[in-house]
Amino acid sequence: MELCIDFGGTEIKLALIDGSRVIASGRMPVTGSAADLDAAAVEARRLLTASGRSADAVGIAVPGVVDPTTGRMLHANAKYDFLEDFDLNTWSLAEFGLPATVENDARAALIGETSSGSAAGERDAVLVTLGTGIGTAAMIDGTPLRGRTGHAGILGGHLTVDLDGPVCPCGNIGCGEALASTWALPDGVTMTEVFTTDAHPGIRDRFLHVWGAVVTSLVHSSDPAVLILSGGILRAGDAVHAPIEAYVRAHLWPSMTLPRFIVPPEPELSVARGLSVLARATTLQSATDPANNANNPDPATHPVQEEQ
C-alpha cells in the first residue's frame, strides 16, 4: 500500500492506495508555511491508523521542478517557498520510516491517468491542468518527459503566447499562465464566475483563446494520441472543453491528426494514482538493486506502462 501526498495549489491531498484501489483519503487547506508539513504528517498518520495498515512506500507530489537525482524541488511558487531545496526524502524517513519518491504534480497526474485513469494504456499523451496556474506534462512512447534537469514537459504554461504581454513571475514575457490563470484574474473575480455566468465574457473569451494557443503548441511539440484536460474549472463542462478543442482543430498543423480529448471524471485522484505507480516502482527497483537511489525519478527506473 502506498501513502500518497499531493501538495496542491489550494489543498494538500492525501490518499492510501492499494493497487488502483483508494483505501482512504483526506485533504486540508494550504497555509503556505512549514506548518503544512506538520499538518500533512498528522493527517497521514491518522489515515494509516484508521486503515489498520502500514504503508509500503511513500510518494510525494510538489507544484514545482524536481531535481532528477536528489528528489528536491529546485523551484517553487511563493506558496511553497518553504519546500524549495527541502529534503522531502529525509522528512519522509523521519515521519513514516520510509523514503519518498518525489515528483512534479502535473507529471504525476499524467502518469496516474495513463496507468489506471481515463487514458489507461495510452503511451503518447499530454496533460494540461487549468486553474491556479497552467500545469502540463507529456509522455512519448510510454516515457514521461523529464529532460536533463527535470524541466521537460512541465513548463507548457510558460510558453509565450503574447510578445507584448505582461511579465510573468517566472521572468518570461507573455506566458500563457500570466495571461490566463486564477492569479491573472482581476481582484474580486473568480474562475467559477467567469465560466458559469455571463458576467465577464471578455475575460472568458481571452482565457479560452490563450488556453487554446497553449494546447495547440503542446500538441505540435509532442504529437500525442490523447490530450487530457484537467482542473476544477473543467467542471464547467463544454463551456471550457469544447472551445479549446475547437481552437486546436482550427489551428493544428495540416498533416497532424487531432488527438482524442479527455476530461478525467475523477481529477482529484490523478496525482495520487501516479504517485502510487511511481512509489511502487521505486520500491520494486530498490528491492532488486539496493544501491539504486530511491529518489531518482529517471524514467528507466519507473516502468510506468508495466504498472497498468
pLDDT value for 107:
96
Supply the mean pLDDT for the chain: 89
DSSP state of 293: -
Q: Give the C-alpha separation, 80 to 64, whole Å.
A: 9
pLDDT value for 79:
76
pLDDT digits 0-9 by tens, 270-296:
999 999 999 998 887 776 765 554 444
Of 21 and 308, more confident: 21
Nearest CA to 114 out of 93, 142, 135, 145 is that of: 142
Nearest CA to 18 out of 281, 271, 277, 268 is that of: 277
pLDDT value for 170:
87
- Of the ranges 59-73, 108-122, 162-176, 248-262, which one carries the lowest mean pLDDT score? 59-73
Give yes or no for a contact between 190 and 224, defined as CB atoms under 8 angstroms apart: no
pLDDT value for 234:
84
Phi, psi of 285 (to 5 degrees): -65, -45
| Domains in the chain, CATH or no CATH each | 2-108+272-307 (3.30.420.40), 120-265 (3.30.420.40)
Q: Where are the alpha helices (DSSP H) in the chain?
A: 35-51, 88-96, 105-115, 176-179, 191-196, 201-222, 238-251, 270-288
Length of the chain: 308
Of 82 and 257, more confident: 257
pLDDT value for 291:
56
pLDDT value for 301:
38
Q: What is the mean pLDDT of residues 123-150?
A: 94
Q: Is 299 a residue whose pLDDT tops 60? A: no
Give yes or no for a contact between 49 and 131, defined as CB atoms under 8 angstroms apart: no
pLDDT digits 0-9 by tens, 227-244:
999 988 887 778 899 999
- At 272 the three-state DSSP class reads helix
